[in-house]
Chains A and B, each alone.
Chain A
Amino acid sequence: MSIAVGAEGHNVSMRYSGLAILANGLTGNRNWTEVWRKPEPKPSYDVVIVGGGGHGLATAYYLAKNYGVTNVAVLEKSYLGSGNVGRNTTIVRSNYLLPDNIAFYERSMQLWEGLAQELNYNTMVSQRGILNIVHSDAQRNAYVRRGNAMRLSGVDAELLTRGQVRDYLPYADFDNARFPIRGALMQKRAGTVRHDAVAWGYARGADSRGVDIIEHCGATGFRIEQGVIRGVETNRGFIGAKKVGLAVAGSTSRVAAFAGLKLPIEAHVIQAFVTEGIKPLIDHVVTFGAGHFYVSQSDKGGLVFGGDIDGYNSYAQRGNLPVVEDVTEGGLALFPNLGRLRVLRSWAGLLDMTMDGSPIFDKTGIEGLYLNCGWCYGGFKATPASGEAFAHLIAKDGPSDLIKPFRLDRYARGAVLDEKGMGAQTNLH
């Protein structure tokens, strides 16, 4: 079978700008081209990334950009961006407690900050700030410890008084709350990013550098010979690869099982919700400290909110009513003025929940097979740094300093990264 590919497989990507919109608008918008090509898979690649979500696409982008590795395919079992990159609540932040997590997520924040220009794609990075509301002295002490850890790592953090919180959120419940608002920890540089644009922008950036993005191509197995990876079996046939990177959070256990790996991961479902669109109301990301609820308002006007995972292993991509009620109750406890808004849609994503709540990057016992998984709640905000670090891991066959703490052996060694101190039980993180 011969496969027709363009000379270099490259796409001549047009530069986006206000001027381009003007010029195209005046000519009937007929000259816009595909944001990424739809190539047939080649027989083999230097690197195959399994998973065409945010992390996989970002990895391909940085492989091409930072390491010149362009003979790369990204395999996506459904349509591009159909997984968690399009099923999250779009929050980005680096307000962690443990120094290793702070450093990693702060790297991600820095990449977010220049991403629209870097990709020439408006990912709508909106650093509107996050407020973690405090409801007790003990909680304040814990947040102070966290905020100071952030500041020591050079990350912005502020402690707000009750009065300052009131200035930000005058309609919050300051008068009749079961758990009174006593202040907040704020990271002003945190915010939201338009999630789909991240997938599309990285896809465009990777594609224009020669990466083949192959949709509707699901991995069904790995070809491994003498402990060395040879390629990926897919529903569209075998695709050879010198190196294979897994970026399939939510399905990691299933895909890793093809290679015989058993991991410290459970699949869990998390629901999220959006209300009907309203005029600007909530200008920040806000988390409730006495229950499971967080919210931000999309640029389109809907309040995007979520809470805890449903709490049981699941691959069903849908949740149940107890959590819906728990989340909405938390929302009204914080903002009693939202009672008459209507919830428009709900959706659910599958999380790789690890045993310490922090992600995993590592080589595996199989030469040429690399892992990027275990993102728990933190996958979306990690996208740029994860792609950058995973590209390094694959290209250099070893982790950068930034992700050394995230290796698999940390559990056996006892060097867990347990932000909340919940222990080896995934659904508590």
Chain B
Amino acid sequence: MRINCPYCGMRDVAEFTYLGAADLKRPDPSAADAQQAFFEYAYLRDNPAGPFAELWYHGGGCRSWLRVVRDTRTHETLSAALEASAEPGAEDG
């Protein structure tokens, strides 16, 4: 399996570390149901058979967290992009 890192190009999967589902939205810790929300956030998984947006860390390269869309039935990588779309501080030069 190979992943096309936006910084480093097509690289072998051995350079990457896998986390799981992308689109992490950490719940509001001050909400009344925070514990239930955090439980769902930390523990429950869609686990789809098919295209799946997931997080890969390019530890053997640029150390970017990538949002990779991959088909879990075929291992085909459909896209790979930087997860950090906003780059705060970039405008400061």
Answer yes or no: A and B touching, Cβ < 8 Å. yes
Count residues on chain B whose CB falls below 8 Å from chain A CBs. Answer: 26
Prevailing SS type, chain A contact patch: mixed
B45 and A264 within 8 A (CB)? yes
- Smallest CB-CB separation from B1: which chain A residue? A320
Contact residues, B17-47 vs A (CB, 8 A): 17-20, 35-36, 39, 42-47
Q: Taking the complex as formed, is B13 at the interface, i.e. its CB lies under 8 A from any CB of chain A?
A: yes
Q: Taking the complex as formed, is B75 at the interface, i.e. its CB lies under 8 A from any CB of chain A?
A: yes
Q: Taking the complex as formed, is B65 at the interface, i.e. its CB lies under 8 A from any CB of chain A?
A: no
Contact among A266, A315, A322 for B73, CB-based, below 8 A: A315
- A-B CB contacts (within 8 Å), total count: 68
A424 and B42 within 8 A (CB)? yes
A412 and B39 within 8 A (CB)? yes
B20 and A262 within 8 A (CB)? no
Q: Mark A127-147, 1 if CB is under 8 A from B, else 0.
A: 000000000000000000000
Given the complex, which residues of B lie within 8 Å of A322, measured CB to CB? Answer: 12-14
Contact A266 B45, CB 8 Å, known A314-B75, A316-B75, A320-B13: yes
Interface size for chain A: under 10, 10 to 19, 20 to 34, or 35 or more residues? Answer: 20 to 34
A267 and B75 within 8 A (CB)? no
Min CB distance A371 to B, Å, is 14
A254 and B49 within 8 A (CB)? yes
Q: Taking the complex as formed, is A213 at the interface, i.e. its CB lies under 8 A from any CB of chain B?
A: no
A265 and B45 within 8 A (CB)? yes
Contact A411 B49, CB 8 Å, known A266-B20, A313-B54, A315-B73: no
Contact residues, A274-332 vs B (CB, 8 A): 311-316, 320, 322
- Smallest CB-CB separation from B75: which chain A residue? A316
Given the complex, which residues of B lie within 8 Å of A254, measured CB to CB? Answer: 47, 49
A412 and B18 within 8 A (CB)? no
Given the complex, which residues of B lie within 8 Å of A355, measured CB to CB? Answer: 42-43, 45
B13 and A313 within 8 A (CB)? no
Residues of B within 8 A of A (CB): 1, 12-14, 17-20, 35-36, 39, 42-49, 52, 54, 70, 72-75
User: When A and B form their complex, which 7 residue pairs have the shortest distance between CB atoms, in order from nearest?
Assistant: A253-B47, A322-B14, A264-B43, A315-B49, A312-B18, A411-B43, A412-B39
Residues of A within 8 A of B (CB): 253-254, 262-267, 311-316, 320, 322, 355, 411-412, 424-427
Task: Report 29 cross-chain contacts, Cβ distance below 8 Å, ordered by A residue.
Answer: A253-B45, A253-B46, A262-B44, A262-B46, A264-B44, A265-B45, A265-B47, A266-B20, A267-B72, A312-B1, A313-B47, A313-B52, A314-B72, A314-B75, A315-B49, A315-B72, A315-B73, A316-B73, A320-B1, A320-B13, A322-B14, A355-B43, A411-B39, A411-B43, A412-B43, A424-B42, A425-B20, A426-B45, A427-B18
